[in-house]
Chain A
Amino acid sequence: MTAQIRPAPVRKSIRVNATPDRAFDVFTSGIGRWWPKSHKIGQADLDRPVIEPRAGGRWYELDVDGSECELGKVAVWEPPSRLILIWQLTPEFRFDPDLMTEVEVTFTPDGDGTVVDLEHRDLERMGDQAEAMAETVGGPGGWPALLQLFADETHN
């Protein structure tokens, strides 16, 4: 018996003191200026993530040693109001071309600022992948690497 778990999307919202144009521009082409250095999957230190400015573009991580790690791709490119990135990382932090989860980011004018809304959805598809992986390995797999990250962080 396997319980069907269908997690709610992760939703985040923040207001910024910038026009939608600037907010969209800084989110995408300026991502290297603000993206947390801890948010990386490669072995080497993170230089910056790259979002190619077009639908169908790549979304990847560029590391200081010049290596690149695929994160997914750009599905919708509608400056300055909407962006959809496809996140293709499994709970084991492996790039999987068959895994498609969506990260939609919208930029809505709010007075002299902008509200940035982010929704990461289709998370249950990661579950399908994790389960498939566990079945392939045949062992007690499906235990995501990120649990270890949690544990490490709580030790600090």
Chain B
Amino acid sequence: MTNAERVFEALHDPTRRAVLDRLRSGPKPVGEIARGLPVTRPAVSQHLKVLKDAGLVTDRSEGTRRIYHIDPKGLGAMRAWLDRYWEAALDALAAELNRTETKENE
């Protein structure tokens, strides 16, 4: 999977979007993120892992707890967005060049 696909996959799930929303107000441990969400705490941990793999959140140890926070620079998302952006642009360029080249050859 490309970085972009991982980000889209990560954000496709409504629970993961809810998890991200909770982290917008600041770093939190799993227990606090899970509170009020209609899923189990292990499920939340699993969602956090997917978000981490996509570069959307990072974590750190604080004693025995693991504190999660949004990738402070948003670079995982930015890079994934640019990945799609340039891919779409080059595809469009190739389509234009191949189209006009064919026309000229006719």
B82 and A16 contact, CB distance less than 8 A = no
B97 and A91 contact, CB distance less than 8 A = no
Chain B nearest CB: distance from A17 CB in Å? Answer: 5
New A-B pairs, 7, CB < 8 Å, besides A12-B87, A154-B12:
A16-B101, A18-B97, A91-B75, A130-B74, A134-B72, A147-B11, A150-B8
**Nearest 4 interchain pairs by C-beta:** A127-B73, A34-B96, A144-B74, A16-B97
The docked-state distance in angstroms from the alpha carbon of A144 to that of B90 is: 24
Query: Which among B60, B78, B91 is the interface contact of A126 at CB below 8 angstroms?
Result: B78
The docked-state distance in angstroms from the alpha carbon of A124 to that of B94 is: 29
Grouping DSSP codes into helix (H, G, I), strand (E, B) and loop, the A interface class, with mixed when no group exceeds half, is mixed
The docked-state distance in angstroms from the alpha carbon of A8 to that of B74 is: 14
Chain B nearest CB: distance from A20 CB in Å? Answer: 11
> With A18-B101, A36-B92, A118-B90 in contact, do A147 and B82 touch (Cβ < 8 Å)?
no
Scan residues 21-65 of chain B and give those whose CB is less than 8 A from a CB of chain A.
24-26, 55-56, 58, 60
B75 and A5 contact, CB distance less than 8 A = yes
On chain A, the residues within 8 Å of B7 by CB distance are 150
Cβ of A54 < 8 Å from any Cβ of B? no
On chain A, the residues within 8 Å of B60 by CB distance are 1, 3
B: residues with CB less than 8 A from A are 7-8, 11-12, 17, 20, 24-26, 55-56, 58, 60, 70-83, 85-98, 100-102
| Total A-B Cβ pairs within 8 A | 137
- Nearest A residue to B17 via CB reads A151
Query: Which among A2, A146, A153 is the interface contact of B72 at CB below 8 angstroms?
Result: A2
A: residues with CB less than 8 A from B are 1-3, 5, 7-8, 10, 12-18, 22-23, 26-27, 30, 33-36, 38-39, 91, 116, 118, 120, 123-124, 126-128, 130-131, 134, 140, 142-144, 146-147, 149-151, 153-154
Chain B nearest CB: distance from A115 CB in Å? Answer: 11
The docked-state distance in angstroms from the alpha carbon of A17 to that of B70 is: 43
A140 and B73 contact, CB distance less than 8 A = no
On chain B, the residues within 8 Å of A13 by CB distance are 90
B96 and A153 contact, CB distance less than 8 A = no
On chain B, the residues within 8 Å of A151 by CB distance are 11, 17
